[in-house]
Amino acid sequence: MVITEKNIEYSKAPRRVSILGATGSVGRNTLDLISRQHNAYKVVALTAQHNVELLAAQARQFNAELAVIGDAAHHAALQEALAGTGVAVASGVEALCEAAERPSDWIMAGIVGAAGLGPTLAAIRQGAVVALANKECLVCAGELMLEEVRRSGATLLPVDSEHNAIYQVFDFDRPESVDRIILTASGGPFLKLDVTAMAQVTPAQAVAHPNWDMGNKISVDSATMMNKGLESIEAFHLFPVTAEQIEILIHPQSVVHGLVGYVDGSILAQLGAPDMRTPIAYALAWPDRMATPTDRLDFARIANLAFEAPDLMRFPSLRLAREALAAGGTAPTVLNAANEVAVAAFLEERLGFLEIARVVEETLNKVAVTSVTELADVGAGDDEARAVARQLAGLPARRDGRLSLVQG
């Protein structure tokens, strides 16, 4: 069993929780749930990258012990905003890792992108229950992360709706009985748009997801379907299955989130409204369940559920992710780094929508794949891929500094 579960005795004392990426969509939804059962939880640490105003407001509302802003340039502003509150203030990359190391029972790993790798590893090393909302950690350093999980005795709970769904219906006691797992994808806002029209779409159109309320980066990934490609790599590390046993299915309504097929022909699925508070609540209350304010499914009103195979010609990111997983080594790191650069350029209107996949594919072709035996290998692959991707995207040469590999 790859996802570990340790025996934890839960007392009636409030569970100590920390949220890495508190001002993002996942962080805000986590705090919304905590606010509804505030006596059950004690907020320890909250982190953000830039949003001082919201982070300070959250720290005051939940009486956090520590608030950390990743961008050290905002340290003075955060310190001023929290003056006299008793909330400790810190800033910078190392402080994000230190926040993750602060003793907590449960930690939400919600920092977007490869930048979340260092803090997530720090959370795992303290042996806590880690709710993983950052797929890039497993994409870039899957085996290294899982080795840390095994070494520390941490519990890793997936928060992505698809992996959370599969986790709920996967028979970990008899993995040999599993025939396949199926990740569903809404298809994003451009599912039926022809390629000519896709070349002209704007960032505003790409982030307008038809079902989910998500951040800009993940919304663009959903539109290109790279999100599902990254999730297929994440699933490979999370569940005891082969790459060939992982399937992707378009499901525009986003009601069925994940399915597990068994050798006897049975299929078990998890269904729910497209609201991230459902998988977050599952992880937050685990091993119990908690009430949420999410909409309840009305099957008579829904009436029909549609499914179709993805079009790999129109959404080449799915193919690129499969190829990166098959190549192994640093290939998934290169895939992710190039995608982060290309998506950022698209959001800044410096790159066309269809150019995102081009930049990723050409970066994969140019950067040599090497083995991954330590975090430094991931960092080297990430750095090289970002430099190449920036050149291919016509951006000035510089190091993005997105990946944090602070250890210990």
Q: What percent of the chain has pLDDT over 90?
A: 84
DSSP string, 108-177: EE---SGGGHHHHHHHHHTT-EEEE--HHHHHHHHHHHHHHHHHHT-EEEE-SHHHHHHHHH--TT-GGG
Cα 379 to Cα 405: distance, rounded to the nearest angstrom: 7
User: Given pLDDT bands bounded at 50, 70 and 90, which one contains residue 167?
Assistant: very high
CATH, range 15-159: 3.40.50.720
Averaged pLDDT, 239-263: 97
Whole-prediction pTM: 0.90
Tell me the pLDDT tens digit for each residue of 99-131.
999 999 999 999 987 788 999 999 999 999 999
Tell me the pLDDT tens digit for each residue of 30-66.
999 999 998 999 999 999 999 999 999 999 999 999 9
Tell me the pLDDT tens digit for each residue of 291-306.
999 999 999 999 999 9
Contact partners, residue 37, CB within 8 Å, separation at least 6: 290
Q: What is the reported pLDDT for 403?
A: 44
Tokens of 116: 């979340």
Q: If you average pLDDT over every residue of the chain, what do you get?
A: 92
Q: Which residue has the tokens 């520390």?
A: 152
- Write the class of the CATH domain 328-392: mainly alpha
Residue 60's SS3 state is helix
Helix axes 375-392, 117-125, angle to 10 degrees: 160
DSSP string, 249-299: EE-TT--EEEEEEETTS-EEEEE--S-THHHHHHHHHTTS-----PPPP-H
Instruction: Tell whether omega for the bond before 287 is within 30 degrees of 0, i.e. cis.
Output: yes
Of 180-184, 211-215, 364-368, 399-403, least confident by mean pLDDT is 399-403
Tell me the pLDDT tens digit for each residue of 336-353.
999 999 999 999 999 999
Cα 226 to Cα 243: distance, rounded to the nearest angstrom: 16
Cα 27 to Cα 108: distance, rounded to the nearest angstrom: 8
Q: What percent of the chain has pLDDT over 70?
A: 94
CB 248 within 8 A of CB 341: no
The residue type found at 292 is T
CA angle 253, 254, 259 (to 5 degrees): 120
Per-domain residue ranges of the chain: 15-159, 164-275+297-302, 328-392
